[in-house]
C-alpha cells in the first residue's frame, strides 16, 4: 500500500515538475527581481545598480501624480465591478429566465443576443481604444458628437475635457466587459434546475422576487468570481487608458492610473528602480483586494440537485 502511494506520488510529481519549474522561472522569479530593483536606483543601463534601500518608497509617498492615479483606480474599483455586474446580471436573467411561458425560459433570440453581447470580447483592447477615440472626436467626424451637432447641440469633449474624460474611459471599460459576464452568468443560470424557478413562481414569486431570492443566491459563487476579476481589471487597467486618452492619461492627468505611471516612469524617464517600487505597491494593492473580497463575500454555499 505504501509502495503504491509512493509510485502514485512520484508519477504525479513527474508531471507537475515541468510546469512548476516554468512557473517559478517566468512568474515568481520576475516578481523577486522586481522587489530587488525597487530598492535600487537602476536607470535601465547599468549592470550593477546602486542599492538605496527604501528611498524609492519614501519618494513615492510625496508623488502627487501617483496618488492621483491611485484615486482613479480606487474609483474604478468601486464602480466598474458594481455597474458591470448589475448590467450583466440583468441581461443574463432576461435572456435565460425572463421570457415567456411563465418566465421559465429566456426571451426569443436569446442565443443571438449572447453572441452580440460577447462581440466586444473578440476585439483587442487597443482596437477598442482606437475605435472609441475616433467615436468620441469633438467634431462632426465623431460618431457620438455628429448627431448632437446636427441637432444644434455643442459637441462634448469626451476625451478633451478633464471633468468628462475619466467617465468616458469608465463607460468604455463597462461596454467591453459586460458581454463576457453576460455569457458567464448565463452559463451559471443554465446549470440551475428549472424546477426551482417553477416552484418559486407557483409560490407566487414575481420577477424581482425570483431574481433576489432564487437567482442571486444560487449564482453567488459566480458573482464572487466576477467581482474579483473585475476588481483586478480595475486595478491593472493600462492599455485602454494609454491608447485612448490624450497625453496617455490626460488631459491634465484626469484619467491616469497606476499602470500608466509605472510605464511612464520606466520607459519615458528611465527610472526603472522607482517604477519597480510603484509596481510593488500596485502588487500589494491587488493581492490585498483579492483577499479582502474573498473574505467579505464568503457565505455558505447553496447546493442543489
pLDDT tens-digit series, residues 233-273: 999 999 999 999 888 888 888 999 999 999 999 999 889 99
36 vs 39: CA distance, rounded Å: 6
Q: What is the pLDDT of residue 4?
A: 64
Whole-model pTM: value is 0.84
Domain spans in the chain, listed from the N-terminal domain onward:
62-296
In the chain, alpha helices (H): 2-23, 29-37, 55-61, 64-96, 110-118, 125-135, 145-150, 162-190, 194-202, 207-210, 216-218, 220-236, 239-244, 258-263, 272-296
Class of domain 62-296: mainly alpha
Q: Which residues of the chain carry a pLDDT beneath 50?
A: 101-103
Distances (CA, A) of 139 to 153, 154, 172: 11, 9, 19
Q: How many CA atoms lie within 13 A of 80 on its CB side?
A: 30
Report whether 231 contacts 177 (CB < 8 A): no
C-alpha Rg value of the chain to the nearest Å: 24
As a dihedral over the C-alpha atoms of residue 74, residue 60, residue 260, residue 88, rounded to 10 degrees, the angle is -20
What does residue 192 show for φ and ψ, rounded to 5 degrees?
-85, 125
Q: What is the pLDDT of residue 78?
A: 93
Q: What is the pLDDT of residue 103?
A: 47
Amino acid at each position: 500500500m505504501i509502495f503504491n502511494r509512493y509510485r502514485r506520488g512520484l508519477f504525479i510529481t513527474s508531471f507537475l515538475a515541468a510546469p512548476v519549474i516554468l512557473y517559478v522561472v517566468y512568474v515568481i522569479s520576475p516578481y523577486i527581481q522586481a522587489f530587488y530593483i525597487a530598492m535600487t536606483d537602476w536607470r535601465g543601463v547599468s549592470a550593477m545598480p546602486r542599492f538605496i534601500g527604501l528611498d524609492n518608497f519614501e519618494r513615492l509617498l510625496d508623488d502627487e501624480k501617483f496618488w492621483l492615479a491611485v484615486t482613479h483606480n480606487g474609483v474604478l474599483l468601486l464602480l466598474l465591478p458594481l455597474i458591470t455586474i448589475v448590467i450583466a446580471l440583468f441581461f443574463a436573467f432576461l435572456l435565460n429566465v425572463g421570457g415567456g411561458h411563465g418566465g421559465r425560459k429566456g426571451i426569443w433570440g436569446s442565443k443571438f443576443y449572447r453572441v452580440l453581447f460577447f462581440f466586444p470580447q473578440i476585439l483587442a483592447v487597443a482596437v477598442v481604444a482606437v475605435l472609441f477615440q475616433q467615436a468620441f472626436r469633438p467634431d462632426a467626424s465623431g460618431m457620438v458628437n455628429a448627431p448632437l451637432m446636427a441637432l444644434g447641440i455643442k459637441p462634448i469633449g469626451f476625451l478633451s475635457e478633464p471633468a468628462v474624460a475619466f467617465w468616458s474611459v469608465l463607460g468604455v471599460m463597462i461596454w467591453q466587459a459586460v458581454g463576457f459576464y453576460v455569457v458567464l452568468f448565463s452559463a451559471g443560470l443554465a446549470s440551475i434546475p428549472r424546477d426551482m424557478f417553477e416552484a418559486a413562481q407557483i409560490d407566487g414569486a414575481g420577477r424581482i422576487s425570483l431574481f433576489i431570492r432564487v437567482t442571486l443566491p444560487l449564482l453567488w459563487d459566480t458573482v464572487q468570481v466576477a467581482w474579483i476579476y473585475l476588481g483586478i481589471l480595475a486595478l491593472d487597467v493600462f492599455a485602454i487608458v494609454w491608447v485612448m486618452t490624450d497625453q496617455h492619461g490626460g488631459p491634465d492627468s484626469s484619467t491616469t492610473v497606476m499602470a500608466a505611471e509605472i510605464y511612464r516612469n520606466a520607459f519615458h524617464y528611465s527610472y526603472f528602480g522607482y517604477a519597480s517600487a510603484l509596481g510593488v505597491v500596485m502588487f500589494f494593492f491587488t493581492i490585498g483586494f483579492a483577499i479582502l473580497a474573498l473574505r467579505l463575500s464568503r457565505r455558505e454555499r447553496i447546493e442543489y440537485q
